[in-house]
Amino acid sequence: MSKDIFKQLIAEYQQKVLSVNYQPRNYAVDKQLNYVFTGLRRVGKSYLMYQIINDLVREGHSANEILYFNFEDDRIASLSISDLDLIKVSFEEMYDVRPIFFLDEIQVVDKWEKFARRLADQGYRVYITGSNARMLSSEIATTLGGRFMIQQIYPFSFSEYLQMLDFDINDKNLIYSRSTDITKAFETYFRYGGLPEHFNVTDKRAWLSNLFQKLFFGDLVTRYQVRNDFALKMLIRKLAESVKQPVSFSRLSNIVSSAGKKVSTDTIIDYLNHINENWICFEVENINAKLAAKTSNKKYYFSDNGLLNLFLIDPNTALIENMVAIKLQQQFGSDFYYYQNGVEVDFYIPEKHLAIQICYDLKDESTRKREVNALLKMKNQFEDIDLMIITKDDEKTIEINNTVIEVVPVWKWLLNH
């Protein structure tokens, strides 16, 4: 690539990033640090960059200091690490200022991390995005040498979604004064998730389906040279159908093999790693299991409800549990679990000493007893814990055997946590 092309793109990008409309996200960044933003495709990493850029300009930085570059621009292809240096040289020939680097989806360039490390060593401020979790691999982390903060970006939270709809979420009376409006907005968020680009799309399911095809064929089949794409798709479908239940590697292997070509347990493990690396799913371990079972018998959740909903016919119970799992991952990373020991409790958060059961509704008495008894049995093992049931709409307090169980609607829980 020539410097003339790079100069043209740099100037074009500068105009774009300062004129684009964006919804501010609730992410705090230290403007003195370097960042790598990671996460699912279309989650809004680039728009977070635009937000930071506009914040810097409002704080007094010149627009000419911004070196934003989109490495997924279809006008450029097959860039090498030497091209990264050429981009820097091209900018320096255009402007007599020290650039602030915004390198969008840079993982498409082989050995990009060496360039990023060199920039950090030279004292430049650098922001990077990427959709592949291999950006967090031990080799790259070693190369970056602690010079970058790794920040995962999630789909819009329900609070952010309401802000986009012009709700004043700081109004403490909002939940009571506009609860009908909030629950109506929640229905769309519940079924189609928080990926921001679909908010203004009429056919949300079609948009999500197109995104999944990009994730499946572009980020999984092509990137990892998967030969048995039928088995991979069957695995993703099975993960969606089993989102509320622990499932082992061997069981997944048997289920997928029974539907078509035989696939080994080792291959299933590889496929699961690929799925997790690309932020499509994440996993939760049993806090009560021994090491081998922790590793091989996990629960799997999707990173966005909209993607999960593509695979389900009767989705309600799966969607509510998946939504809570997403929020817990955003708050606690991998430090939350499920509990299984004769009974199953959906989530346990050690930091909060809190056990949570998920139930769409408690109208059926046998369902109510099952959920309550599971929590009480867990409390016998973990005495100093609080108990909660998250439902779609129910709200009350259950008192039994001198124990209090809080029952709260999922939309209200999302707003308060």
- State the distance between the two ends of the chain, measured CA to CA, in whole angstroms: 49
Q: Helix-strand-coil percent breakdown of the chain, rounded to 5?
A: 50, 15, 30
pLDDT of residue 380: 93
pLDDT, average across residues 254-259: 93
Confidence of residue 328 (pLDDT cuts 50, 70, 90): very high
pLDDT (tens digit, 9 = 90+) per residue, 134-154?
Answer: 777 777 878 888 899 999 999
**pTM attached to this predicted model:** 0.93
pLDDT of 260 > 70? The answer is yes
Tokens matching residue 132: 């592949």
Domains of the chain: 3-152 (3.40.50.300), 158-189 (no CATH), 201-313 (1.10.10.10), 328-417 (no CATH)
Tokens matching residue 161: 């979604």
Q: Average pLDDT over the chain, rounded to whole?
A: 93
User: Which residues, other chains included, contact 363 with Cβ-Cβ below 8 Å and sequence gap of 6+?
Assistant: none
pLDDT of 272 > 80? The answer is yes
Task: Write a three-state SS string for 80-108.
Answer: CHHHHHHHHHHHHHHCCCCCEEEEECHHH
Tokens matching residue 386: 């609080």
Any bridge partners for residue 408, and if so which? 390
pLDDT of residue 139: 73
pLDDT of residue 171: 76
Task: Please give the Cα distance from 16 to 161 (Å, whole number).
Answer: 24
